[in-house]
């Protein structure tokens, strides 16, 4: 059987059909009032965002990378400081560290969750201190939508006197025992890049904190380090505001987001039920809610993964490899410190992962067809 129709990896068009008239209305309102920069939609979206996750302060910014940059700047991280980051993540998590003059230290991942491994973090902290670095912060990532081991990381960080910045670019809306991402660590960051679970129609991001003083600094930093008076700058900042138009679009999308997360979970459950006896399916620890930014299986080897991906491509099933190379093996980052015990798990993940089509509008019959193709491809690759 051939593909029922062209299957997108993430179907933003299907979502748009559902919300198009509300989006048009929201955009029309902004065009009417003309407050393109920091218009009223920005504040009202920030309030809704804070309410959604339970964070005291939610502030929009230009994108998820700036959000991380703003977080490091707000905490005064700079030269001589070590910032611990997982190696198995998107480059932006680590990129911001040298941007502020600090040193990224690469940490291994957990075998089952893909997220930062606390034991590896402890070894990396010892290593950074041996190298004479000041251990300042750790950036756990909620990879593929699953919250990192945030309670353990928070406890460990507290004991070691380092700050936690949660990179929830893929995890906003996830939770641990009912506590939502956005409320862990000193600062949480997220991204509204179109393909993220809560995406806008361009670039956008946000920072969250419970701390009034940090919130005040973040607000200043995103507008050129402004003081109480806009034309009295008190610190070096960025131009990193969330556009009013994007805030208007995001408000509409936030209204349907909770239901979309439920739909993603139903789809993930169906994948796991059907695929668990043939592939290594994602593990969700008890009490955790993932938002399934990606649904990622693991094959037995790189050779097998590459064959399966090729066969699926031929069959008309789009897949992605996130991420084909861990950061500590990339040209720019190879020279930075890392867990002295090595990063074998991150390396193994990179060679075995394969992400399948995942979005809240994936129809059951399309998904069943995809699952059949995955079965066929894996069986063929192993034959």
Ligand X SMILES: *Cc1c(COP(=O)(O)O)cnc(C)c1O
Give the footprint of ligand X on this chain (CB under 6 A): 63-65, 89-90, 92-93, 141, 167, 169-170, 191, 193, 203, 205
Tokens of 213: 């003083």
Q: How far is the CB of 316 from ligand X (least distance, A)?
A: 26
When the beta carbons of 70 and 281 are compared against ligand X, the nearer one is: 70
Shorter beta-carbon distance to ligand X: residue 127 or 167: 167
| Cβ at position 240, least distance to ligand X in Å | 11
Nearer to ligand X, 143 or 214 (CB): 143
Distance of CA 338 to the CA centre of its chain: 22
Alpha helices per DSSP H over the chain: 12-33, 40-53, 64-74, 92-99, 118-130, 150-160, 212-221, 244-275, 302-315, 344-352, 364-382
Q: CB nearest ligand X: which residue?
A: 64
What residues contact residue 139 under an 8 Å CB cut-off, 6+ apart? 68, 83, 84, 85, 86, 93, 164, 165, 166, 167
Q: Give the contacts of 87 (CB within 8 A, at least 6 positions apart).
A: 106, 107, 108, 109, 326, 327, 328, 329, 333, 338, 343, 346
Q: Which is nearer to ligand X, 149 or 304 (CB)?
A: 149
Beta carbon nearer to ligand X, 75 or 381: 75
Instruction: Output the six-digit token pair for 373.
Output: 């193709």
Instruction: Output the smallest distance, CB 196 to ligand X, in A.
Output: 6
The minimum distance between CB 321 and ligand X, in angstroms, equals 14
By beta-carbon proximity to ligand X, the closer residue of 99 and 363 is 99
**Number of helical H runs and strand E runs in the chain:** 11, 12
CB-based contact 290:174 (threshold 8 Å): yes
Check: CB of residue 338 under 8 Å from CB of residue 105: yes
Q: Minimum CB separation from ligand X for residue 63, in Å?
A: 4
Q: Which is nearer to ligand X, 58 or 92 (CB)?
A: 92
Nearest approach, Cβ of 11 to ligand X (angstroms)?
19
Find out whether 127 and 121 touch, Cβ atoms under 8 Å.
Answer: no
- For residue 139, the minimal CB distance to ligand X (Å) is 9
**At which residue do the structure tokens 């400081």 appear?**
81
Residue 222 CA neighbour count, 13 Å, CB half? 27
Are the C-beta atoms of 131 and 123 separated by less than 8 Å?
Answer: no
């Amino acid at each position: 059987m051939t593909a029922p129709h062209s299957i997108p990896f993430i179907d933003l068009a299907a979502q748009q059909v559902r919300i198009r008239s509300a989006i048009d209305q929201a955009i029309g309102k902004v065009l009417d009032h003309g407050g393109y920069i920091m218009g009223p939609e920005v504040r009202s979206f920030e309030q809704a965002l804070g309410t959604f996750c339970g964070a005291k302060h939610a502030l929009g910014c230009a994108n998820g990378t700036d959000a991380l940059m703003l977080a490091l700047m707000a905490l005064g991280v700079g030269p001589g400081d070590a910032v611990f980051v997982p190696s198995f993540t998107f480059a932006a998590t680590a990129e911001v560290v040298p941007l502020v003059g600090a040193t990224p230290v690469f940490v291994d991942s957990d075998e089952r969750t893909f997220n930062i491994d606390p034991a590896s973090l402890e070894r990396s902290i010892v290593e950074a201190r041996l190298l004479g670095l000041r251990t300042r912060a750790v950036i756990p990532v909620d990879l593929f939508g699953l919250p990192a081991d945030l309670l353990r990381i928070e406890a460990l960080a507290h004991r070691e006197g380092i700050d936690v910045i949660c990179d929830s670019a893929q995890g906003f809306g996830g939770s641990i025992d009912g506590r939502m991402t956005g409320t862990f660590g000193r600062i949480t960051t997220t991204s509204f890049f179109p393909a993220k679970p809560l995406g806008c129609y361009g670039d956008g991001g946000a920072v969250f904190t419970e701390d009034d003083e940090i919130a005040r600094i973040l607000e200043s930093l995103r507008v050129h380090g402004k003081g109480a008076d806009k034309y009295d700058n008190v610190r070096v900042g960025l131009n990193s505001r969330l556009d009013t138009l994007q805030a208007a679009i995001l408000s509409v999308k936030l209204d349907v987001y909770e239901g979309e997360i439920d739909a993603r979970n139903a789809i993930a459950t169906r994948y796991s039920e059907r695929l668990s006896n043939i592939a290594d399916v994602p593990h969700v620890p008890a009490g955790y809610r993932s938002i399934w930014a990606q649904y990622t299986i693991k094959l037995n080897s790189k050779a097998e993964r590459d064959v399966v991906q090729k066969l699926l491509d031929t069959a008309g099933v789009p897949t992605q490899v996130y991420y084909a190379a861990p950061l500590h093996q990339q040209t720019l980052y190879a020279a930075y410190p890392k867990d002295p015990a090595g990063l074998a798990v991150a390396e193994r993940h990179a060679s075995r992962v394969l992400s399948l089509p995942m979005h809240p509008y994936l129809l059951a019959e399309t998904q069943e067809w995809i699952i059949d193709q995955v079965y066929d491809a894996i069986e063929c690759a192993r034959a």
